[in-house]
Structure 1
Amino acid sequence: MAVNGQSIIGPYGPWVDGLIKDSLPKFSYRNPSFTNLEQWKALALDRTRERMGIPDTGPLPVVTRHDSHVHDGLEIESISWQLPYGRPTQALVLKPAGAKGKLPAILAFHDHGGNKYFGLRKITRTGKGQHELMVEHQDHYYEGKAWANEIAKRGYVVMVSDAFTFASRRVMMEDVPDHLRSGLTDKNSENAGNIAAYNDWAGNHEHIMAKSLFCGGTTWPGVFFAEDKVALDLLLARPDVDEARVGCGGLSGGGLRTVMMAGLDHRIKCAVCVGFMSTWTDFILNKSYTHTWMTYVPRLPEELDFPEILGLRVPLPTLVLNDKEDQLYTLPEMEKADKILADIYEKAGFSDNYKASYYPGPHKFDADMQQEAFSWWDKWLKA
């Protein structure tokens, strides 16, 4: 539904929206022709993987362990691994100090926030000094909480890795031609002014990265999924993790990664998507300008609406947390996405395994939302 009858692409909005509105998407489980859940999932998953163009990341990389220390009741490991491309991926693993045996685990995804200089630091604290910008970031989006730490304290092994083009995986100035650097260098990078300048540059560089990925036959969501799958593989390989009790979740860009990861890899037994749920129609008519190039998978909207990507995990437990005044979506389309997911779970006979909640306020994952997310993970991963 367009806001006030207008679209962000003017008179072309209704026409473009109509291209995916003539009937239900081809691989939607809501189509009456799909009566066997497992057969539908096999078909829809194959098509979604094909559209995403998921790149091959090669054999499972070797993990390098850099440091381990205890902070605020948690054992915190600093690790990294090298993919076949780019610089090493840095990650943290957090769990209760002194914990024994196999624990349930969470793959925790950091947000986008228009800030590619930072990644895992957005949702963690290590006790080794927190950048002032990350104090502000956690205050703004997480009500002052490092939510990865908070869920780890409840008895989980939590892994947080830097996403593609963020922090340790970001594009460095020295690696691009001089005429694309806008006069920036990689020196003194922790300075707040330099970070702001880098984030402006990285935001303007997104369309270049997206075009190059498309030319390479892949998509940003496909790369996210490939790299997050490596993180999941490494998490499941740990001797302290119960591989039958693993969840994932995150806010905003972390919610997007949750949609892709939980939708396509069903080793994720419980998912919490925060602040990233609407319809393709909402992006077409109202909100694509508030989102990055990281969201889009060409041709897939003909076959699945956006919430139906997450719906590929039915009947596995799924929670969606929305903010009623979220500036990234319109409330009517968030509600339509909620109904689509509810219809999928109802048709499959597992209505109790899906829930969506709505909270007052703008785009965030505040303390009340965190408590609902944590309780949902506890319900399904600790039973």
Structure 2
Amino acid sequence: MKKILLILLVAACHLLYAQQDSDNQYKRPLKEVISEIEKRFEVKIKYSENQVADKWLSYADWRFRPSLEETLDNVFKPLDLKLNKEKDRVYKLKEYEYYRWEVQDGWDNLDRLAALYSDKTSWEARRDSIRPQLYKALKLSPLPALPKSKPILTPKRVMDGYTVENIAIEIMPGLYINGSIYKPLKMKGKVPVILSPDGHWFDHRFRADCQIRCAMTAKMGAIAVSYDLFGWGESGLQFKYEDHRKSLAQTVQTLGAIRLLDYLLTLKEADKTRVGICGGSGGGSQTVLMAAMDPRINLSIPVVSLSSYFYGGCPCESGMPVHLCGGGTNNVELAAITAPNPQLVISDGGDWTAHFPQHDYPYLKKMYAYYGKASQIQNVHLPEDKHDFGFSKRKAVYDFLIAQFKLDAKAVQDKNGNYDESTCTIEKKEALYVFGDKGEKLPKNAIMGYEQLEKLFK
């Protein structure tokens, strides 16, 4: 018996040593490998210590190839890292962005999707299969029951040609979405409704450009509603700022938009035949998603967001598996779901929309042509612009809304026919709060923290 135990012990030791040797064979610290790359290829790689701390590469020397490009791929991709070229022979280490593809890869994938349908009938079969899958991917199938509480509205503030009131709606027990409603000061008959999801810019829906866009829309004769991103703005009273970078952010923002629209379309002055959505950056991603999911929306304007090679770098854009629907999809195909409704895509030269006119736009034109409505999809490309919602983008939005929803251009133009935003009031962000300057009016049943949110969806 002792002999058998001794044999087993020896075998176990050999196995342990073999495993350790296999695990550590030719293993080198990443920092040391980077130094070797710099020497061999005469380049400079910039990084912070915490990016390389405690990172090791097995078979490190076997990852080197004659070319720099192959070597970088072999070394950094397995560690979910990548290098961005800053200038000649100078690189900066970054986390690998799986949501950002090479341009040609995005185009090739869009071509693969386009090959799945060849006419209106085959396209609508795919469209109708994707839409319910989007609800399931977001854990919104079936939609959660709407709480019986009434929307919370602040008193109206009267401005030059429009009014503003803030709103909070309980979208699930203890979960609130907050925003501001901009209405024309004088309304005759039914008026359009425009949802305005916010992007990731500083100060969120409290920004001057956001307030101006909603105010101008109201002055032209439509109801415009801006609302908070999950975890930011007043949503930050219930959740931490970093909770926005968690997957349910996309679900909560989508459900919030649906519930806002539910409420807005109960207003006697709301025209259910003219319902639009317009957002920039991350708000543009939600614009595409909402227009694809909710057939009540019949006009969409994604701004500096739409691309076949970019899926959204925030969980509020891609945190749930919406892009796995239909066996795999992307934002441009989702944008096609709204056809033949009017859609304006605003792109620029300073971000991932820089190549939109070359490949993605022709694809959408073809999809709209299935309905004989190719003119209903438009693109304003601003090659010298950067990633923002500046006046050049807002002007394009105003032009499109006026043309499609028959709004009053003269109400926002000066005597020379130029848009005049100077009469829009930029309020302090505290004026746009529903729950008080310090959250003192937050309802007592409000859930607090991401763990409680997760329980709502179990």
- Once the two structures are TM-superposed, the CA of residue 46 in structure 1 deviates from its matched residue by 2.2
The answer to whether the 8 A contact 2:304-2:353 is kept is no
| Matching of residues 241-252 of structure 1 within 5 Å | 241-252=270-281
2:315 is aligned to: 293
Looking at structure 2, the residues matched to 8 and 234 of structure 1 have their Cα atoms a distance apart, in angstroms, of: 53
Partner of residue 278 from structure 1, selected from 291, 300, 307: 307
- Once the two structures are TM-superposed, the CA of residue 103 in structure 1 deviates from its matched residue by 1.0
| Matching of residues 209-228 of structure 1 within 5 Å | 209-210=246-247, 213=248, 220-228=249-257
Looking at structure 1, the residues matched to 74 and 221 of structure 2 have their Cα atoms a distance apart, in angstroms, of: 46
2:229 is aligned to: 163
- Which residue identity does 2:374 align to in structure 1? S
The answer to whether the 8 A contact 2:164-2:182 is kept is yes
2:137 is aligned to: 51
Is residue 234 from structure 1 mapped to residue 263 from structure 2 by the alignment? yes
| Structure 1 unaligned residues grouped into runs of 5+ | 123-137, 177-201, 214-219
| Cα distance per residue 1:168-196 (max 9 Å; x no partner) | 22254xx67xxxxxxxxxxxxxxxxxxxx
Looking at structure 2, the residues matched to 7 and 362 of structure 1 have their Cα atoms a distance apart, in angstroms, of: 29
1:363 is aligned to: 387
- Once the two structures are TM-superposed, the CA of residue 346 in structure 1 deviates from its matched residue by 2.7
Go from structure 1 to structure 2 and tell me whether the alpha carbon gap of 1:35 and 1:110 turns closer, same or farther (over 3 Å shift).
closer
| Matching of residues 328-367 of structure 1 within 5 Å | 329=352, 331-332=354-355, 335-359=358-382, 360-367=384-391
The answer to whether the 8 A contact 1:274-1:322 is kept is yes
- Which residue identity does 1:76 align to in structure 2? V
- Once the two structures are TM-superposed, the CA of residue 72 in structure 1 deviates from its matched residue by 2.1
Q: TM-score, normalised by structure 1?
A: 0.70
> Over aligned residues, Cα RMSD in angstroms?
3.4
Looking at structure 2, the residues matched to 377 and 245 of structure 1 have their Cα atoms a distance apart, in angstroms, of: 10
Looking at structure 2, the residues matched to 41 and 105 of structure 1 have their Cα atoms a distance apart, in angstroms, of: 25
- Once the two structures are TM-superposed, the CA of residue 87 in structure 1 deviates from its matched residue by 4.8
| Cα distance per residue 1:108-137 (max 9 Å; x no partner) | 222222x4xx54323xxxxxxxxxxxxxxx
Greater shift, 146-155 or 69-78, is seen at 69-78
2:27 is aligned to: none
SS at match of 2:321: coil
1:110 is aligned to: 198
1:125 is aligned to: none
SS at match of 1:76: strand
Go from structure 1 to structure 2 and tell me whether the alpha carbon gap of 1:89 and 1:53 turns closer, same or farther (over 3 Å shift).
closer
- Once the two structures are TM-superposed, the CA of residue 33 in structure 1 deviates from its matched residue by 5.8
The answer to whether the 8 A contact 1:30-1:344 is kept is no
Is residue 381 from structure 1 mapped to residue 405 from structure 2 by the alignment? yes
| Cα distance per residue 1:295-342 (max 9 Å; x no partner) | 21437254212211121111111110011112xx26336743333322
Go from structure 1 to structure 2 and tell me whether the alpha carbon gap of 1:29 and 1:347 turns closer, same or farther (over 3 Å shift).
farther
| Structure 2 unaligned residues grouped into runs of 5+ | 1-68, 83-95, 408-458
1:94 is aligned to: 182
Is residue 154 from structure 1 mapped to residue 220 from structure 2 by the alignment? yes
- Which residue identity does 2:206 align to in structure 1? R
The answer to whether the 8 A contact 2:162-2:218 is kept is yes
- Once the two structures are TM-superposed, the CA of residue 259 in structure 1 deviates from its matched residue by 0.9
Looking at structure 1, the residues matched to 228 and 321 of structure 2 have their Cα atoms a distance apart, in angstroms, of: 25
The answer to whether the 8 A contact 1:311-1:344 is kept is yes
2:206 is aligned to: 121
| Cα distance per residue 1:150-172 (max 9 Å; x no partner) | 11111111122223222122254
SS at match of 1:159: strand
| Matching of residues 57-206 of structure 1 within 5 Å | 57-59=144-146, 62-113=150-201, 115=202, 118-122=203-207, 138=208, 142=209, 146-170=212-236, 172=238, 202-203=241-242, 205-206=243-244
What's the % identity of the aligned pairs?
20
- Once the two structures are TM-superposed, the CA of residue 66 in structure 1 deviates from its matched residue by 1.9
Looking at structure 2, the residues matched to 250 and 377 of structure 1 have their Cα atoms a distance apart, in angstroms, of: 13
Looking at structure 2, the residues matched to 265 and 27 of structure 1 have their Cα atoms a distance apart, in angstroms, of: 26
The answer to whether the 8 A contact 2:244-2:315 is kept is yes
Greater shift, 310-319 or 48-57, is seen at 48-57
Looking at structure 1, the residues matched to 183 and 262 of structure 2 have their Cα atoms a distance apart, in angstroms, of: 18
The answer to whether the 8 A contact 1:69-1:75 is kept is yes
Tell me which of the two structures has the higher relative contact order, counting C-alpha pairs closer than 8 angstroms and 6 or more residues apart: 1
Q: Which has the larger radius of gyration?
A: 2
